[in-house]
Chains A and B, each alone.
Chain A
């Protein structure tokens, strides 16, 4: 049994976590503030609800810290199938909010199983990849891994909540780490780049650009190795041109109009600050208003005037930007950066494969949320509605991310033991 020796825990990460959660409560209070509030512990208010979930998270902290590590190993499969079941029964018992059937209502508490699926998929993936026989060079195993990730993606997309589904792509990172050929990653990167290039430049220009790039690449490699065959280059080029030609078809037929609009806004093809671009534009105005030191707590005029929609959830970063300025925003970003790099660096030191892969999954999930949420708030990424971990309002999100963090703490503290 673990004895509670504080020093064996990752204290810097714990501090970062506490700072982020506190900062989250402060900003939720500010962005949902109105004069008629009575107490922040009033469970009928937004902050009150968040604080209740924070207290619940603290309770899980005690439980998880004292749990034996191999318990998580054992329940991974059960938890995963449980989550799948919960996602499936959403279609029968789920409650619709904001156009998506992704909530369970249990008394006064609403719960989003999507969040639980993030945790269970991470655990189950870690479990599968840590089996000695698993080999990511085998097609069969690649197929199984794909299935593990795709099931929640498909179920969540059908809710429909494609933003949350997208988050599961974060598991690419641990899979790569555990031996998937990097060429898969490069291949994916090249395909995505080609799609974006075609969207921005149009077909003709991007075909010309691609051809020139390939020519340069061929000549460059030819100098080093005369035996290189031009055939492979030509074949790759033709495939990419094919993708380029199919971009428009994909764009027009697979995506919905609102997705197309959001993408067009970011790549600058459309400007519409009052209609579809309203959220991002208002968020940018609020952030710009912050300046170096920000307007101060409860002083943000854009925040007070409710100019930014969904400000306490997905657009919480605009409140941080306006009221705490450049300093506050940068500190937030640095805290996330610290947390992600620290978790992945310490994961590398794990002897146990299961624990290492889990920690890596957690760091990847954290990164994906951080990247998409802040990128969207400052207008670098198309609007995708996912929360900023530890900070955004949302009980399920806070609870599950806290649990994932506590599991990391547990694993990290027992790094040297093979139990």
Chain B
């Protein structure tokens, strides 16, 4: 019997083995056998989107750069010394690069030198034909036309491994937005790359399009972006911050559009282009004193100082603990608790109503108001949370949701914070009295300051600040109004007080002929740790303002580190920016000169140079 069926059995067994082997070859995901060596895929990149300012000025375009390519198989003997001189690469390095590319593949192109400029290319094109196997390949890189607003625009760079892994789009060597608008709007600016497929034969030669190009994908055009930034204003604001550290934020309150965002000192996008990219980047990264990569207007958290008094006035009015006629007496300060005195620069026996309290920036007035707000409620916790709720409705203690990836939340203390610190309700309004004058635990960023000034200018609401006005020609939809907890009618008296600040108060230097400016100065105490020892530094100079007060078109927040009085640096800078924006002309040239040429470098060097130094000079 066995003999009869031996052939049949062997046939069946062999067929089964064949089918199993075929299943393992064809049905399993064997990456080696599945990669198709016969198809060459080439990516087609759309040109990266352009960036304009709000008035249509071109800020960022693209420029051709060239890569020097070698195909080792095609090279003939040549004079390496002469060639290395021609392309400007050391002999040894050139030899190393050539041998590397030979090791990689004799047939596939390798890059010898990248980022060759247009001028160099024009020169090289004349000679390169003498060297077989070498050619120049065109490449597109960013062209940053205006050297301003780099902290907003950001820069591009080669994708990192983690970026390749996190999104299923990028391949090695491609460019991606690394910072700023370039990063936030990467998807719009890059478009979508297309693909072309080619059929290759066994000698790795392309023998034609694959599948009649039916599977090719056309690239999707990139979108152009129009910023809300006014580049002329930005340029002017940047010039005013020369040799100072700090930030300026300018917002159009009716739309939330950011007109300027200055951080000083800063970098320039152009430093991230070309052959010196790496060295420039290291230099910027290593500058731990000036921190140019740190955006002070978005990321620096300071105590807000006196501008916060405005909010306390509004909360006092809303909570009905004061009205416009409420007066307090200041004796160059006051005892807010037993043996606890808070000083004030007002003279002994000054009697202030609300407007006077604002334009003279009276500590006593707002300390007492704050106390009354908290004491209105049964427990200090309830009072403080009520107060914090009002403060937060102005966007403080929040990221604000603008269209850049960097920022800080700031800090608004609530009852939890003090309960943890002192024990449940074992604290009161006097314990937290510093909050009344913007010192103490509160932290804000300059953009948050500008945003709350914007809410005041709008008499009770703000629109999320943002940097992009249009994508292609499509306007971004109207932003929603975010209401504060303060009723509209409570703003007028406070704004009158702010106008007085400029007309007859602490910031008379900010006065502009013919324009009603509302503002509030701030002088912020600050400390630094030097070798474990807490030392006080010269006060920060800060100012918030908007103009014209009746129908505001512009809001400015200025923060100058260690500038001393608010009226010394911050107020004049804000005033000049307002004048420039509203009149397009500066009448007070002397003030402009003082601001542009004034330097605080010696102030910044103090803690690094001297063991003992005097402040607030």
Docked complex: B445-461 residues within 8 A CB-CB of A? none
Please report the total number of B residues contacting A with Cβ < 8 Å: 34
Shortest beta-carbon distance from A177 to chain B in Å: 5
Contact between chains at B30 and A306 (CB < 8 Å): no
Question: A285, A305, A329, A344: which contacts B201 (Cβ < 8 A)?
Answer: A305
B10 in contact (CB, < 8 A): yes
A306 proximity list for chain B (CB < 8 A) = 201-202
Within 8 A of B (CB), among A335-381: 336-337, 340-341, 344-345, 348, 360, 363-364, 367, 370-371, 374-375, 378-380
The 3 closest A-B pairs by CB, nearest first: A288-B33, A301-B38, A305-B38
A287 close to chain B: CB less than 8 A: yes
Please determine whether B7 and A289 come into contact, CB atoms closer than 8 angstroms: no
- A259 CB, nearest partner CB in chain B, Å: 22
- B22 and A289 contacting across the interface, CB-CB below 8 Å: no
Q: Are B19 and A333 in contact (CB under 8 A)?
A: yes
**CA gap between A333 and B37 in the complex, in Å:** 27
Q: Which residue of chain B lies nearest to A288 when distances are taken between CB atoms in the complex?
A: B33
Among B15, B27, B36, chain A packs the most CB atoms within 10 A around the CB of B15
Contact assessment for B199 and A301 in the assembled complex, using a CB-CB cutoff below 8 Å:
yes
Quick check: is A297 within 8 A (CB to CB) of the other chain? no
Which residues of A185-225 are within 8 A (CB) of B?
A: none
What chain B residues lie within 8 Å of A56 (beta carbons)?
A: none
- Determine the distance from Cα of A72 to Cα of B37 in the docked complex, in whole angstroms: 52
Contacts of B270 in A (CB 8 A): none
Residues of B within 8 A of A282 (CB): 202
| Residue pair B7, A326 in contact (C-beta under 8 Å) | no
Instruction: Please give me the residue from chain B that is nearest to A326 by CB atom.
Output: B26
Q: Which of B1-31 contact A (CB under 8 A)?
A: 2-4, 6-8, 10-12, 14-15, 17-19, 21-23, 25-27, 30
Chain A contacts for B8, CB-based, 8 A: 340-341, 344-345
B-chain residues with CB within 8 Å of residue A380 when the two chains form the complex? 17-18, 21
* Also in contact, A291 and B201, with CB within 8 A (given A333-B18, A344-B7): no
Shortest Cβ distance from residue B204 to the other chain A in the assembled complex, whole angstroms: 9
Whether A177 pairs with B3 at a CB distance below 8 angstroms is yes
Hey, which bits of chain A sit against chain B, CB under 8 A? Answer: 173, 176-177, 182, 282, 284-285, 287-292, 299, 301-302, 304-307, 321, 325-326, 329-330, 333-334, 336-337, 340-341, 344-345, 348, 360, 363-364, 367, 370-371, 374-375, 378-380
Query: Looking at B10, B11, B12, B23, which has the most chain A CB atoms within 10 Å of its CB?
Result: B11
With both chains docked as a complex, state the minimum distance between the C-beta of A216 and any C-beta of chain B, in angstroms. Answer: 23
* Interchain CB contact (< 8 A) of B26 among A176, A182, A291, A337: A291
Of chain A, the residue at the smallest CB distance from B39 is A301
For A321, list chain B residues within 8 Å (CB): 22, 25-26
Q: In this complex, what residue of B is CB-closest to A298?
A: B211
A-B contact count, CB below 8 Å? 106
A287 touches B6 (CB 8 A): no
User: Are B12 and A325 within 8 A (Cβ)?
Assistant: no
Q: Within the complex, which residue of A173, A301, A333 is in contact with B36, where a contact is CB–CB below 8 Å?
A: A301
- Extra pairs beyond A305-B207, A380-B18 (14, CB < 8 Å): A176-B3, A289-B33, A301-B199, A301-B210, A304-B207, A306-B201, A337-B12, A344-B7, A345-B8, A364-B7, A370-B14, A374-B18, A378-B21, A378-B22
Which chain A positions have C-beta within 8 A of B37? 285, 302, 307
Alpha-carbon distance A21/B91, docked complex (angstroms): 65
**Complex: how many Å from CA A289 to CA B36?**
7
Query: Are B15 and A336 in contact (CB-based, < 8 A)?
Result: yes
Please, which residues of chain A bring their CB within 8 A of the CB of B199? 301, 304-305
B→A interface (CB under 8 Å): 2-4, 6-8, 10-12, 14-15, 17-19, 21-23, 25-27, 30, 33-34, 36-39, 199-202, 207, 210-211
Distance in Å: Cβ of B318 to nearest Cβ of chain A: 71
**Can you name the residue of chain A whose Cβ is closest to the Cβ of B23?**
A326
Question: Can you pick out 24 interface pairs between chain A and chain B where the beta carbons lie within 8 Å of each other?
Answer: A177-B3, A284-B33, A288-B25, A292-B26, A292-B27, A301-B36, A302-B36, A304-B38, A305-B199, A305-B207, A306-B201, A307-B38, A321-B25, A326-B26, A330-B22, A333-B18, A334-B15, A336-B15, A337-B11, A337-B15, A367-B10, A371-B14, A378-B25, A379-B21
Main secondary structure of the interface of A (DSSP, over half): helix
Q: Which chain A positions have C-beta within 8 A of B12?
A: 337, 341
Find out whether the CB atom of B201 lies under 8 angstroms from the CB atom of A299: no
B26 touches A375 (CB 8 A): no
Complex Cα distance A335/B124, Å? 65
Task: Give every chain B residue within 8 A of A371 (Cβ-Cβ).
Answer: 14
Given A301-B210, A371-B14, A380-B21, check contact A340 B201 (CB 8 Å): no
By a CB distance below 8 angstroms, the chain B residues around A329 are 22, 26
Chain B residue with the shortest CB-CB distance to A342: B8
In whole Å, how far is A396's beta carbon from the nearest beta carbon of chain B?
25
Please give, as numbers and ranges, the residues of chain A lying within 8 Å of B30 by CB-CB distance.
288
Chain A nearest CB: distance from B488 CB in Å? 69
- A367/B18 contact (C-beta < 8 A), A301-B36, A378-B25 known: no
Chain B positions within 8 Å of A374 at CB level: 18
CB distance from B376 to the nearest CB of A (A): 76
Please, how many angstroms separate the alpha-carbon atoms of A330 and B17 in the complex?
11
Tell me the minimal C-beta distance from B170 to chain A in angstroms.
25
Inter-subunit contact B200/A305 (CB<8 Å): yes
Q: In whole angstroms, what is the CA distance A374 to B22 when docked?
A: 10
Give bound CA distance, A173 to B11, whole Å: 12
On whether the beta carbons of B15 and A378 are closer than 8 Å, the reply is: no
By a CB distance below 8 angstroms, the chain A residues around B33 are 284-285, 288-289
- A339 → chain B, closest Cβ, in Å? 9
Instruction: Report the Cα distance A28→B22, complex, angstroms.
Output: 21
Cα(A334)–Cα(B14), bound, Å: 11
For B211, the closest partner residue in chain A by CB is A299
Q: Are B15 and A288 in contact (CB under 8 A)?
A: no
Q: Which residue of chain A is the closest to B9 with respect to CB atoms? A: A341
Bound complex: CA of A374 vs CA of B23, how far in Å?
14
- Say whether A325 contacts B18, CB under 8 Å: no
Nearest A residue to B26 by beta-carbon distance? Answer: A326
A3–chain B nearest beta-carbon distance, Å = 32
In the complex, A371→B17 CA distance in Å? Answer: 10
Assess the A284–B25 pair: CB atoms within 8 A: yes
* Complex CA distance for A340 and B22, rounded to whole angstroms: 20
Whether the Cβ atoms of A348 and B200 lie closer than 8 Å is no
Of residues B14, B22, B37, B207, which shows the largest number of chain A Cβ atoms within 10 Å of its Cβ? B22
Q: Which residues of B contact A344 (CB under 8 A)?
A: 7-8
Inside 8 A of B22's CB, which chain A residues have their CB? 287, 321, 326, 329-330, 333, 378
A291–B7 touching, CB < 8 Å: no
Q: How far is the CA of A267 from the CA of B186 in the complex (A)?
A: 53
Q: For residue A292, which residues in chain B have a CB less than 8 angstroms away from its CB?
A: 26-27
**Chain A residues with Cβ under 8 A from B25's Cβ?**
284, 287-288, 321, 378
Q: Are B19 and A330 in contact (CB under 8 A)?
A: yes
- CA of A299 to CA of B215, assembled, Å: 12
Does the CB pair B18–A375 fall under 8 Å? yes
Q: For residue A151, give the distance in angstroms from its CB to the closest CB of chain B.
A: 24
Residue from A285, A299, A344, A348 having most chain B Cβ neighbours under 10 A: A285
Most buried by B among A173, A282, A301, A302: A301
Most buried by A among B3, B10, B39, B210: B3
Measured between C-beta atoms, what is the minimum distance from B35 to chain A in Å? 9
Q: Are A348 and B202 in contact (CB under 8 A)?
A: no
Of all chain A residues, the one with the shortest Cβ separation from B28 is A288
The smallest beta-carbon distance between A336 and chain B, in angstroms, is 7
Pairwise interchain contact A340-B27, C-beta atoms closer than 8 A: no
Among A326, A364, A370, A379, the residue within 8 A (CB) of B27 is A326
CA distance A285 to B8 in the complex (A): 31
CA gap between A213 and B15 in the complex, in Å: 29
Residues of B within 8 Å of A176, CB to CB, are 3, 6
What's the Cα separation between A307 and B199 when bound, in Å?
A: 11
Instruction: Select from chain B the residue with minimum beta-carbon distance to A304.
Output: B199
A288:B207 contact, CB within 8 angstroms? no
Distance of A384 Cα from B3 Cα, bound (Å)? 28
Select the residue from B15, B26, B37, B199 with max chain A CB neighbours within 10 A.
B26
Alpha-carbon distance A181/B586, docked complex (angstroms): 117
* A318–B521 alpha-carbon span in the complex (Å): 83
